[in-house]
Structure 1
Amino acid sequence: MSASRHPALLSADPELASFVAAEEVLQAQTLRLIPSENYVSAAVLEASGTVLQNKYSEGYPGRRYYEGQQNIDRVEALAIERAKGLFGVDHANVQPYSGSPANLAVYLAFAKPGDTVMGMALPMGGHLTHGWGVSATGSWFRGVQYGVRADTGLIDYDAVRDLALAERPKLIFCGGTALPRTIDFAAFAEIAREAGSILVADVAHIAGLIAGGAHPSPADHVDVVSTTTHKTLRGPRGAMLMCREEHAKAIDKAVFPGLQGGPHNQTTAGIAVALHEAAQPSFTAYAHQVVANAKALAAALLQKGFDLVSGGTDNHLILIDLTGKDVPGKIAAKALDRAGIVVNYNTVPFDPRKPFDPSGIRIGTPSLTSRGLSTEHMPLVADWISRAVDAAAKGDEQALAAIRAEVTDLMAAFPAPGLPLS
């Protein structure tokens, strides 16, 4: 346990310190395959825990409502310039608290309640904030959804175009949370142009791959880019909105004062560090390794008889349909967790099961890549997953315990960045 690494916390609140220490151990010893999770560097952790926490900074650099911003302005300006340089955009706003508020700011900037908006349906791999009914975006706006083909699991761009031209949405979102294939931003841009729509690329999952050159960039094709700053980008839990200069004023006004008060300056500092790290050659190698690992893992899972949505992956994410294994996704995910393999249960396209008890699991390779695992390890990871799913079907807890011991041994040989455990 490493609560001693947080002496002030240990002294002030031993109970909470013990929870933090337990989480450090859990993250160190388990194989984390949730595609939206990663490990931040020690530098990002340090920046996120600085005295910048103490400062209130409503407004933007040079235009604040509080005094004493000399250093805060420099921090935020640095993060902005790094975001613009890394992603090749005209304007960047680094203040959104997280991805959902960032997307909501896009609605506030360009649409009015009741306007039609278009995004990928949640069960098909989209995100709640792309106009899905249970989200505020689906309540305040008229959401219409596109999906994927039943036979291929791929986006049918002709069908997307037909829907866009029929509905003429104010906004079109491309991107999602369970898309294992490359997004054709140019195709979406042509559709949005024909429909007279504002095009938004939600690249929260793939921002790090874009930064590292392992996925095409939307910068030259879309009006707005929305992203979180964690996931593949390996930053703190925050978000950014990037756009063409013509939309800069509308985006900034929507974030503040439209939706938020003062930014979280300590998070802005962590974002700045992560963007600096993402501009290094080592990050490019990491981004390409994430994709190589995912492709190798997908191939190994196919050899084990797993059914992968769209037949594989082009990025960091693999969506597995367990219908053929006769094990529901939720049961499989919980069994894998007991085996030391952390995934999330997930709906698959055209899933006949309910969202809270779906047919699939969603996995990804960012975290294991950050630990230094490579393609040579992916057959072993696939074997663990296969054995754990079989054990889940049989209720074999002894088999799950054996896998967990193997996982713990391998994780000890590949320490995670930023974790204070040896």
Structure 2
Amino acid sequence: MVIAGRRGLAVDAVTSEALTGAPDTGTTDRIAALSAVAAAGGEGLARLAAADPALVALAHRQRERRCRQLNLVAAASPTLPAVLAAGALGFGAVTAEGYPGQRYHSGAETVDAVERLARARAELLFGAAHANVQPASGSAANLAVLYGLLGPDDTVLSLELSHGGHLSHVSGAASVSRRVRARHYRVGPDGLVDTDAVAALVREVRPRLLICGGSACPRAVDFAAFRRAADETGALLMADVSHVSGLVATGLHPSPFDHCDVVTTSTYKQLRGPRGGLALLGARSRVRAADLDRAVFPGFQGTPDFGAIAGKAVALRHAARPAFAAAMGRVVRYAGLLADALTGRGVPVLTGGTDTHMVLVDLRHAPVSGRYVCDVLEAHGVLANRNPVPDDPRPVGQTSGLRFGTNDLAFRDVGDDLVTTVVAAVAGAVAELAETGDQARCPSLAVLPDLVAEVASRGYREE
């Protein structure tokens, strides 16, 4: 079910006028305001070109690379041009700690309205009871929760990093692991989480916080089952939906907001927003909004980036529109095509497929590592990333996994026929490399550059 209609209209109706009471002065004044902002932006770019040509040259090089590559990195989506513009509107120059109406600095009236706008749009889009839009990243949102809502030596139960979890979910490398006790559940031989086994572990460990979701989970999360597990001992339940927040917003992935106390997400992986994060409360959360806000500020970070918050507001509004819902449908469809193409060529895929944007290739029994395949694909214009698989026999610098995602591809101005051809070629290249370990014996590699160029030449769909 795709969420549209009333929720999308509600998000669209949240304007600075509705939040501040300031009247809209009409089209003429809006055009004048846009002209003034555009002039300031143009002047800034001109000064940058004169003062720092080396940086401008690097930006041009990056743009050229983007035009020659097919981005299948699961953690990436193309940032909305309007989001980039919002970040350059000058809001980032404002220093004002605290929250709207309660700042520790004067002169914050306008950015108060910006933050209220982003917060209201987040709450309406996801059906959240409360949204904090200040976190500097998804990881920052996670760590604010872990540091701010838990006490020293509280126990956290989360998915093990090598089984698809995330560094910020109290992995051994994270600094918070020295403050709280970490226990982890794992996926089974089928690559899936056994929620009955999680419930048994909850009864044994009795965690203060149970975390569901991760960074390498291709299947939908059963939030209701995790809620039942958490309720065994009264644990708080947190969902990290950074990788699937766009699917959640459009109803193509189950929503955590009816089940979880806290939900976190990044805003760039699937929402097309700026680098940043959100921390939100579920509809029946046992965490108070004031406690969540204190966990973020002053508990974990100081002055927020109002330019990023403006970009988040733009992305959240866009995520409520029919064009975004259609794109999320393509995300899931294209990921299914890629998973089927890989399995059809005899390449093992963790869990046998996907429910989301993500496809995880299992190279444990292949003569090549994830890093090798990733490097070869990049040399032919296709970007992916190496990734550990459960019980990986290779070191983390090599890995036996390869992670693909279809976010970027779904926003390209391409049709299903071309996508089918492209994913068949990618699957063929992976299969041939996994079988022979020799680039010279991989005919599918030869066709990739032309296909990548064809996809890149189409650009992105009009929003």
The TM-score with structure 1 as length reference comes to: 0.94
Conservation of the 8 A alpha-carbon contact between 2:117 and 2:313:
yes
Amino acid at match of 2:183: V
Q: Give 1:100-111 correspondences, 5 Å limit.
A: 100-111=139-150
- Is 1:42 aligned to 2:81, yes or no? yes
- Is 1:394 aligned to 2:435, yes or no? no
- Is 1:411 aligned to 2:455, yes or no? yes
Aligned partners of 1:391, 1:165: CA distance in 2, in Å? 45
Q: 1:147 to 1:315 in 2, by over 3 A?
A: same
Aligned partners of 1:216, 1:239: CA distance in 2, in Å? 20
- TM superposition shift of 1:384: 2.7
Show the counterpart of 2:412. 371
Q: 1:331 to 1:58 in 2, by over 3 A?
A: same
Q: Give 1:208-227 correspondences, 5 Å limit.
A: 208-227=246-265
Which of 47, 50, 68 aligns to 1:11? It is 50
Once the two structures are overlaid, the 10-residue window that deviates more, 236-245 or 113-122, is 236-245
Residue 36 of structure 1 aligns to a residue whose secondary structure is coil
Which of 182, 193, 199 aligns to 1:143? It is 182
Q: Give 1:224-235 correspondences, 5 Å limit.
A: 224-235=262-273
- TM superposition shift of 1:139: 2.3
Which of 212, 215, 229 aligns to 1:177? It is 215
Aligned partners of 1:270, 1:10: CA distance in 2, in Å? 24
Which of 352, 363, 367 aligns to 1:326? It is 367
- TM superposition shift of 1:414: 2.0
Conservation of the 8 A alpha-carbon contact between 1:226 and 1:241:
yes
Conservation of the 8 A alpha-carbon contact between 1:208 and 1:278:
yes
Matched pairs, number = 415
Structure 1, residues 91-137: CA drift from partner, whole Å, max 9, x if none?
00000001111111111232112211010000100001112111113
Show the counterpart of 1:239. 277
Amino acid at match of 1:91: H
Q: 1:324 to 1:418 in 2, by over 3 A?
A: farther
- TM superposition shift of 1:400: 8.3
Show the counterpart of 1:52. 91
- TM superposition shift of 1:353: 1.2
Aligned partners of 1:374, 1:232: CA distance in 2, in Å? 20
Runs of at least 5 residues in structure 1 that lack an aligned partner in the other structure: none
The TM-score with structure 2 as length reference comes to: 0.86
Conservation of the 8 A alpha-carbon contact between 1:84 and 1:91:
yes
Residue 213 of structure 1 aligns to a residue whose secondary structure is coil
- Is 1:200 aligned to 2:248, yes or no? no
- TM superposition shift of 1:379: 3.3
- Is 1:126 aligned to 2:158, yes or no? no
Residue 168 of structure 2 aligns to a residue whose secondary structure is helix
Aligned partners of 1:329, 1:407: CA distance in 2, in Å? 22
Show the counterpart of 1:83. 122
Aligned partners of 1:320, 1:177: CA distance in 2, in Å? 14
Amino acid at match of 1:201: A
- TM superposition shift of 1:35: 0.8
Structure 1, residues 178-202: CA drift from partner, whole Å, max 9, x if none?
0000100000001111121110000
Q: 1:163 to 1:48 in 2, by over 3 A?
A: same
- Is 1:157 aligned to 2:219, yes or no? no
Structure 1, residues 245-267: CA drift from partner, whole Å, max 9, x if none?
64211110011111111100000
Residue 323 of structure 1 aligns to a residue whose secondary structure is coil
Runs of at least 5 residues in structure 2 that lack an aligned partner in the other structure: 1-42
Structure 1, residues 331-374: CA drift from partner, whole Å, max 9, x if none?
00011111100000001112111111110100010000011344
Which of 303, 309, 332 aligns to 1:291? It is 332
- TM superposition shift of 1:138: 2.0
Which of 19, 30, 35 aligns to 2:69? It is 30
Conservation of the 8 A alpha-carbon contact between 2:70 and 2:456:
no
Conservation of the 8 A alpha-carbon contact between 1:353 and 1:359:
yes
Conservation of the 8 A alpha-carbon contact between 1:99 and 1:238:
yes
Once the two structures are overlaid, the 10-residue window that deviates more, 79-88 or 21-30, is 21-30
Aligned partners of 2:47, 2:361: CA distance in 1, in Å? 44
- TM superposition shift of 1:40: 1.5
Residue 130 of structure 1 aligns to a residue whose secondary structure is coil
Conservation of the 8 A alpha-carbon contact between 2:364 and 2:393:
no
Conservation of the 8 A alpha-carbon contact between 2:359 and 2:403:
yes
- TM superposition shift of 1:388: 3.5
Conservation of the 8 A alpha-carbon contact between 1:340 and 1:404:
yes
Once the two structures are overlaid, the 10-residue window that deviates more, 380-389 or 184-193, is 380-389
> Structure 1 vs Structure 2: percent identity of aligned residues?
41
Residue 173 of structure 1 aligns to a residue whose secondary structure is strand
Residue 23 of structure 1 aligns to a residue whose secondary structure is helix
Amino acid at match of 1:182: A
Aligned partners of 1:258, 1:101: CA distance in 2, in Å? 11
- TM superposition shift of 1:385: 2.1
Amino acid at match of 1:197: A
Aligned partners of 2:412, 2:265: CA distance in 1, in Å? 23
Conservation of the 8 A alpha-carbon contact between 1:230 and 1:237:
yes
- Is 1:346 aligned to 2:387, yes or no? yes
Larger radius of gyration: 2
- Is 1:355 aligned to 2:396, yes or no? yes
Aligned partners of 1:110, 1:374: CA distance in 2, in Å? 46
Conservation of the 8 A alpha-carbon contact between 2:220 and 2:355:
yes
Aligned partners of 2:419, 2:343: CA distance in 1, in Å? 12
Which of 356, 379, 384 aligns to 1:315? It is 356
Conservation of the 8 A alpha-carbon contact between 1:340 and 1:407:
no
Aligned partners of 2:72, 2:62: CA distance in 1, in Å? 16
